[in-house]
Amino acid sequence: MPDKLANSGQVLVLNCGSSSLKFALIDPRNGNASLSGLGDALGHSAPTVSWKIGGDKHSATLKEGAKHTEVIEFVVTNILAAQGALLQDVSAIGHRIVHGGEKFSHSVRINDQVIRAIQDCVALAPLHNPAHLQGIEAATKAFPGLPQIAVFDTAFHQTMPRQAYIYALPYELYEEHGIRRYGMHGTSHRFVAERAAAILGKARADVNIISAHLGNGASIAAIQAGKSVDTSMGLTPMEGLVMGTRCGDIDPGILLHLGVRLDYCAKEINDLLNKKSGLLGISQLSNDCRALEQAAAEGHRGAQLALDIFCYRLAKYIASYHAVLSMVDALVFTGGIGENSSWIRENVLKRLRGLGYQINQVRNLEMRFGAEGAIEDVSDDSSSPKVLVIPTNEEWVIARDAAQIINGDDSPVPAPLAGGD
Ligand code: AMP
């Protein structure tokens, strides 16, 4: 492939949350980050910025109530300008945007129309999209004239067929209010599916992949010929797998029971399902998989139950995606849990032997100690499907999309394929 990115500068990747802002300066050719950092506790009494540059860690406290604008000003003035060469090298800003509704099926250059469309999706992501808009406004002030690119978590899943995204609810809820399944983590699923195709030595259009992104938030996607055809998150990131603090799939009748019989208000129900459920709710101990594995090994029954339910539900989803895809080339594990927990991988896969999965105990355990960034096949040679562990790199996808768009290629952007991690 001719490298259109050969002359690209660095891309400043921004991920704006309601009270946080992650930033990274990424080389789109290889994903290397020359700078990465986090603005935290934004809008609170003592907001902080911490960052890593050239292997050194730094931190600073911002003035009371400082928000995204102040963090971006700080990044420009106190970090980038202090390293003059870096500032000159920034060629674009890439924004992670959680919800693009049905309006975006790939990454786009930000203009007034795109901003209005992101505003239109605020109802679908009330915590995230307003923060992204603040980030875009702040970046526009700090980098006037520099191209800004929006990369949507939902975009990759816009290829899902209607049978996968329409809920069995009155149809007017979809038509009038956009209530349907959208899916999230699309940037990560796209990245690992592309890498998996490259590892398997096949064209993207020739592989079927099941991608399990298992972090504090978790989702799974069925990817046919490189395109998402189903995924476990829905209208919101609450649907699907058991997560750190989110419940995943539950009987919707429970909401009525909580509201009508137990007098929970909407906010209490939201807190319960989003923040107090999942691994934390079941174990009554922690949302952190590593801590739960340790506690379970020491005999904590709640921790063991939480991990067992996590694996059981994940295995059921994987099996159901075999029905979606008919033929599966590889299952990919990614995200903090997927990349690091050999225990979870083993306990999911031992339920799936009937589907042809053969985990290789040695490869799976060694993966735990593997070099950072390693891409591993943890299945036996005879396993079909293969089982791959691929570290995700959403920032690289965002940087790459941004660089491709500013280099004049506005076509749907494939994820990077070659080396560099
Ligand atoms: P993420 O949201 O992708 O950063 O993933 C966070 C999750 O990954 C937490 O539940 C961590 O406990 C889990 N995790 C990270 N490292 C390990 C590990 N070595 N073993 C098990 N879980 C891990």
| Ligand 1, atom 4: closest residue by C-alpha | 336
Q: Ligand 1: does its nearest atom lie under 6 Å from the Cβ of 215?
A: yes
The residues annotated with a catalytic role in the active site are 153
Question: Strand pairing of 330-334 and 386-389?
Answer: parallel
Residues 1-57: tens digit of each pLDDT: 345 566 679 999 999 988 999 999 999 999 999 999 999 999 999 999 999 998 899
Which pTM was predicted?
Answer: 0.92
The pLDDT assigned to 421 comes to 32
Helix 394-406 and helix 186-200: axis angle, to 10°? 90
Q: Are 38 and 49 in contact (CB under 8 A)?
A: yes
Is 278 close to ligand 1, i.e. is its CB under 6 Å away? no
Instruction: Give residue 287 CA to ligand 1 midpoint distance, Å.
Output: 10
Taking the chain, what is the end-to-end CA distance rounded to the nearest angstrom? 19
d(CA 418, CA 1): 11
CA distances from 156 to 51, 66, 194, 260 (A): 30, 34, 12, 38
Residues 80-103: tens digit of each pLDDT: 988 888 888 899 999 999 999 999
CB 248 less than 6 A from any atom of ligand 1: no
| The amino acid at 329 | D
Strands 10-16 and 90-97: parallel
> What is the reported pLDDT for 6?
61
The response to whether residue 339 sits with its C-beta less than 6 Å from ligand 1 reads no
Cα distances (angstroms) measured from residue 254 to each of 100, 164, 166, 241, 273: 29, 23, 21, 17, 11
418 vs 317: CA distance, rounded Å: 30
Ligand 1 nearest-atom number relative to CA 344: 21
pLDDT tens for 358-404 read: 999 999 988 755 555 566 899 999 999 999 999 999 999 999 999 99
Whose CA is closest to atom 15 on ligand 1?
Answer: 336
How many A from CA of 289 to the centre of ligand 1?
Answer: 6
**How much is the mean pLDDT over the chain?**
92
Q: Which residue has the tokens 């986090």?
A: 38
Give residue 409's pLDDT band: very low, low, confident or very high (50, 70, 90): low
293 lines ligand 1 (CB under 6 A): yes
30 Cα to the center of ligand 1, angstroms: 25
Domains and CATH numbers, the chain: 2-152+398-406 (3.30.420.40), 202-390 (3.30.420.40)
How many angstroms separate the most distant Cα atoms in the chain? 63
Q: Whose CA is nearest to atom 17 of ligand 1?
A: 340
